[in-house]
Amino acid sequence: MIEQSANAGDDGRGESALQKVDRNWLELLQELRVLQTGIQILTGFLLTLPFQARFTELDAFQLDVYLVLVMLSALITVLLLATVIMHRSFFQLRIKDALVRNADRILRAAMFLVALVLIGTTGLIFDIVLDRTAGTVSAIALAVVIALMWIALPQIIKRRSLRKR
């Protein structure tokens, strides 16, 4: 069992503030890599849809949802690339702590938009393949699963872990 440090900000790693910022940046980069790969695949899928034969059969609602999803995917890409741009802009300025703080905020915003794109894409596919009701039900069901897995479960684990300290 890891011994508790007397310092509230010290997690027992014995690292300096700069080392902690560097570690946090590397962890954030790993998360960005996973997210970027996933959103690239999803965006690629969305961008190929207009070239499918059935695309002309979409109704106005489906076209609107599709266009919103494309814009959200593009916005996610912009957000993810913003962290790279910030890193390049802040290079050798010794403000990595600001980079990590702001990249974290950007990543959180991107994750929210990823949830919307996943929900919307699932709903659109079910709507096209089955019907509007199936699209709505599948979108709501996925929204609930995302809320449980991305919000509720981490909070439960965090509370339980903090109580055991």
The predicted-structure confidence for 90-125, as pLDDT tens digits, reads as follows 777 788 788 888 888 999 999 999 999 999 999 999
Q: How many domains does the chain have?
A: 1
> Is residue 149 situated within a structural domain?
no
Q: Which of 8-12, 79-83, 87-91 has the lowest mean pLDDT?
A: 8-12
3-state secondary structure of 94: coil
CA distance 18 to 161: 26
In a domain? residue 65:
yes
Q: Which two tokens stand for residue 110?
A: 């991107």
Task: Classify residue 133: in a domain, yes or no.
Answer: yes
pTM score: 0.80
Q: Is residue 118 part of a domain?
A: yes
Quick one: which of 57, 31, 62, 32 has its CA closest to 46? 62
Assess if residue 87 is contained within a domain: yes
Give the residue numbers spanning the domain of 29. Answer: 17-138
74 token code pair:
């593009």
In a domain, 131, yes or no: yes
Q: What is the DSSP string of 40-81?
A: HHHHHHHHHGGGSGGGGG--HHHHHHHHHHHHHHHHHHHHHH
Question: How far apart (Å, rounded) are the C-alpha atoms in residues 46 and 43?
Answer: 5
Residue 6 has pLDDT above 50, yes or no: no
Q: What is the pLDDT of residue 10?
A: 57
